[in-house]
Structure 1
Amino acid sequence: MSTADVGTAAAPELRILTVCTGNICRSPAAERLLRHRFGAGSGIEVTSAGVGALVGAPIDEPVVRLLTDRGVDTTDFAARALTERIASSSDIVLTATREHRAAVVEVAPALVRRSFTLLELARLVGQVDEADLVARAGDDATPAARLKALAALAARHRVQVPRELDDVADPYRGSPEEYRVAIDAVAEAVDTIADRVLGRA
Structure 2
Amino acid sequence: MPPFVVLHVCMGNICRSPMAERLLAHSLRRRVAAAGWPVSAADLVHSHGAGTDGWHVGQAMNEPAARQLRDRGADPAGFAARRLRGDQLDASDLVLTATGAQAGQVRALRPDAADRTFVLGELGRLLPRVDTSLLPVSGPDAKLVYLRGVALVAAVHALRADAPPQPGDDLDDPYGLADDVFAGIADRIAAIVTPLAALLVPAADRAAA
Is 1:78 equivalent to 2:68 in the alignment?
no
Unaligned 5+ segments in structure 1 are 1-10
Please, what is the CA RMSD of the aligned residues?
Answer: 1.9
For residues 1-201 of structure 1, the aligned pairs below 5 Å read 12-39=2-29, 40-41=40-41, 43-53=44-54, 54-133=56-135, 137-138=136-137, 142-158=144-160, 159-160=163-164, 162-164=166-168, 166-199=169-202, 200=205
CA distances 1:122-180 after superposition (whole Å, capped 9, x unpaired): 221111112222xxx2465733322221111010111446311x111100001222111
- Contact 1:12–1:45, Cα closer than 8 Å, also in 2: no
- Where relative contact order (Cα < 8 A, 6+ residues apart) is larger, the structure is 2
Secondary structure, aligned partner of 1:19: strand
Q: CA deviation at 1:110?
A: 0.6
TM-score between the two structures when normalised by the length of structure 1: 0.86
Distance 2:155 2:118 in 1: 12
Q: Which amino acid aligns with 1:26?
A: R
- Contact 2:116–2:154, Cα closer than 8 Å, also in 1: yes
Distance 1:139 1:161 in 2: 29
Secondary structure, aligned partner of 1:180: helix
Q: Which amino acid aligns with 1:147?
A: G
- Contact 2:4–2:145, Cα closer than 8 Å, also in 1: no
Q: Single out whichever of 31-40 and 155-164 deviates more from structure 2.
A: 155-164
Q: How many residues align?
A: 187
Distance 2:133 2:65 in 1: 38
Secondary structure, aligned partner of 2:176: coil
Q: Single out whichever of 189-198 and 138-147 deviates more from structure 2.
A: 138-147
Q: Which amino acid aligns with 2:7?
A: L
Q: Which amino acid aligns with 2:109?
A: V
- Contact 1:87–1:108, Cα closer than 8 Å, also in 2: yes
Q: CA deviation at 1:13?
A: 2.4
Distance 1:23 1:160 in 2: 24
Percent of aligned pairs with the same amino acid: 36
Q: CA deviation at 1:197?
A: 2.6
Secondary structure, aligned partner of 1:15: strand
Secondary structure, aligned partner of 2:115: coil
Secondary structure, aligned partner of 1:172: coil
Unaligned 5+ segments in structure 2 are 30-39
More helix by share: 2
Distance 2:75 2:113 in 1: 29
